[in-house]
A and B are shown apart, each in its own frame.
Chain A
Amino acid sequence: MLPQIIFGYFAIVTIVLSLVIITRKNPVHSVLWMLVLFFHIAAIYLFLNAEFIAAVQVILYAGAVLVLFLFVIMMLNLKEELSSERFIGEWPIGVALGLSILLFIFFSIAKLAPGPLGKFTIELIQKETHTKAIGKVLYTEYILPFEVASLILLIAIVGAMVLAKKRT
């Protein structure tokens, strides 16, 4: 019973926070609520025995991405923004579209038939520690995507320089 209650708490908080985030008028508030949300999602990862992912979530999302967002928001002048309309005029259409997709997916999840089980049982991961198990797979089987990811980060650096540099 206890796991269900804990899951219920996290589920309700994440859903409420998501709704709060997309409805705030001031982006700064959205970003700060996002911070709380990321911590809750990290907690769910812990619940799923994924300690490394939880740590990365907090360090990278909360530590890097959100700080970047806040930096940019502080650079821009948002006075004018706060006086404009919150939603687009046709917002009920957007909501209806989203909810219909949601219903559609709900029906299918009830009949979810997961694939075959793999070899990384919980005991194995606990014996080997999660970080080591992930590292072993990442640096052997998935070394090629890892290298491609490094190119993507290089592009992000180059792109930020090209786009945001002042005109000379």
Chain B
Amino acid sequence: MVPLEWYITLSTVIFIIGVIGFLIRRNIIIMLISIELMLNAVNLSLVAFSHYLQDLKGQILVIFVITVAAAEAAIGLAILVSLYRNKAVVHTDKITEMKG
């Protein structure tokens, strides 16, 4: 049997890759994908904990996280579309109306 630590380590690595992706990329779609990556890492650790602790709460939370992730993606992409209509960029460095 694979130990629990392996799953948690895997999940942490994916989570951190998501964090790095969010920090070093400035393409909004890739930043959104990095967030999805982080959420997937969380789901993975929750399912692993849930399996090893013989408890279903973790998997219930996973279902909610997936629901919220879908809602979040819809809203994020809607914001992107409304921005693109006015400005035609998807790069955060080019969106700098406000500074200070």
Contact = CB atoms under 8 A, between A and B. Distances in A.
In the complex, are there CB atoms of A and B closer than 8 Å? yes
Interface of A: 3-4, 7, 11, 14-15, 18-19, 21-22, 24, 27, 30-31, 34, 37-38, 41, 44-45, 47-50, 52-53, 56-57, 60-61, 64-65, 68-69, 72-73, 75-78, 80-81, 84-88, 91, 94-95, 97-99, 101-102, 105-106, 109-110, 112, 114-122, 133-134, 137-138, 142, 145, 149, 152-153, 155-157, 159-160, 162-164, 166
A148 to B, nearest CB: 9
Contact of B12 (A7, A102, A137): A102
Closest 10 CB pairs of A and B: A118-B55, A22-B21, A94-B23, A156-B71, A98-B20, A163-B78, A91-B24, A27-B29, A94-B24, A48-B51
Given A22-B21, A102-B16, A14 B64 contact: no
B25 A73 contact: no
Interface of B: 1-2, 4-10, 12-14, 16-21, 23-27, 29-30, 32-34, 36-37, 40, 43-44, 47-57, 59-60, 62-64, 66-75, 77-82, 84-85, 88-91, 93
Nearest to B55: A118
A14 B37 CA distance: 10
A15 B63 contact: no
B24 A95 contact: yes
